[in-house]
Chain A
């Protein structure tokens, strides 16, 4: 069977895998944004805490994905849950670090003007720092997405959802019928999904950034 024939015959499964791959990535990013931005907001003012947050989330990223997924089976079983948790863990560093840097690097004159007119610290954070740091934070979100969209493929190893299943199926029966087509489908699918995802995020970044600070 040629690659084109394989696609034509299996398109329902492939589309389904792609959607699930997208879903688990999006879910993980959403959770990672809440945790990472929260962590950044809590720590950016204290250099030691900020360094601790960056180092810790950075250390997560060095754990091999197979090892992490394996460890997560114990508490979370097989399927989507361990994959989701692993992806959140891998997505944290860029989001947390960019939140910290973005919040710290807001023009001190803007903060002084805000404090000077009587805005509370909380208001300065929500009304001034966060919107001004947003482009930097969102750049972190985009990097995280690119990182975990590939890692999500490994999730198939613990029976997680997504295009990884194509790859693992293919590799498991290597040399067998359609094995190469499957690996190719999974790999190209992920690359394509990553491109489209990034394009969409670029659009969201534009929409959620004030026109006054847009590049």
Chain B
């Protein structure tokens, strides 16, 4: 694994930001205020046309706000040169938008080249980023059309990271992939973010994706009005109103369990009994429940790692899972 690179994230602050498109009666975004803490992933989730993309593009000034202020690391972005400003922000657009006439290495390396990096430094950076997003090194020489959709999306993420931005804006970055690939990309992305610690604004339609990816979630109403802005756990535990509840949809309790890693649950000592099902501490309480139902056992052993030779470090029973669902049991 390459060295985790460079600059940590910076805090983004939106104050009373409004966008009124010319000739439209209603503003697309109305008086939004929110703080996106440095190094966190904040997910904007809301129905189509509610203003998610508009809100995000005002941060990198692809769209200029009609009123209000946006600061990054305390600096008002309107005082910066737009191109200069955008170079500090990685931008992953929903349609991927790779440059079809450039090889993957030149897609990723374009911004470093514009910034005047040496060829050897660019080559090293491209290799590092391809490894980071889990693509083989020889893909550098390929053209975008020689990659699958999911692979292209990874290149899009690598390209956005190329000049080591402190902030990443990601507009439905995994939208165009099948559920299995998406799950895979999400996991890789979370692993990546644990290393790079950027400040990330992540847009999605999919509330389950929001729960999985977000340190915080902003549930938006039309005009980007914030219905609730909190951690996934807090939103699941106490949706602010029916609108937010409708986003959570059915199975809210199971979703809560899916957020809870066994690592964070206080385990009971392992019983002596033989033949109990085993589950790794990396798994979630929901996985544990699934295993209990599948194996017809109300107790499972928790191991420190995957595989048969992993050490048992405790056990979990159905009552403890119910306790976790009820709320406090797991929270450290």
Interface residues of A, Cβ cutoff 8 Å to B: 107, 109-110, 112-120, 123, 127-128, 131-132, 210-213
Contact = CB atoms under 8 A, between A and B. Distances in A.
B259 to A, nearest CB: 31
A114 B160 CA distance: 11
Contacts of A123: 114
Contact of B62 (A107, A109, A110, A112): A112
A110 B143 CA distance: 14
Contacts of A118: 83-87, 89, 111, 114
A213 B87 CA distance: 27
Contacts of B89: 116, 118
A138 B6 CA distance: 44
Given A109-B93, A116-B86, A119-B83, A213 B101 contact: yes
A181 to B, nearest CB: 49
A200 B169 CA distance: 47
Size class of B's contact patch? 20 to 34
B144 interface: yes
Interface in B299-330: none
Lowest 5 A-B CB distances belong to which pairs? Answer: A113-B97, A212-B143, A210-B101, A118-B86, A109-B97
Interface of B: 60, 62, 83-87, 89-91, 93, 95-103, 110-111, 114, 143-145, 156, 159-160, 163, 169
B16 to A, nearest CB: 24
A47 B96 CA distance: 27
Q: Is the interface of A mostly helix, strand, loop or mixed?
A: helix
B183 to A, nearest CB: 24
B101 A112 contact: no
27 contacts: A109-B93, A109-B95, A109-B97, A110-B100, A112-B93, A112-B97, A113-B91, A113-B98, A113-B159, A116-B60, A117-B86, A117-B110, A118-B89, A118-B114, A119-B83, A119-B110, A119-B111, A120-B83, A123-B114, A127-B110, A128-B99, A132-B100, A210-B100, A212-B102, A212-B143, A212-B144, A212-B145
B160 A117 contact: yes
B20 to A, nearest CB: 21
Given A117-B86, A118-B111, A107 B97 contact: yes
Contacts of B83: 118-120
Interface-centre pick from A112, A119, A128, A212 (highest chain B CB count, 10 A)? A212
Contacts of A109: 93, 95-97
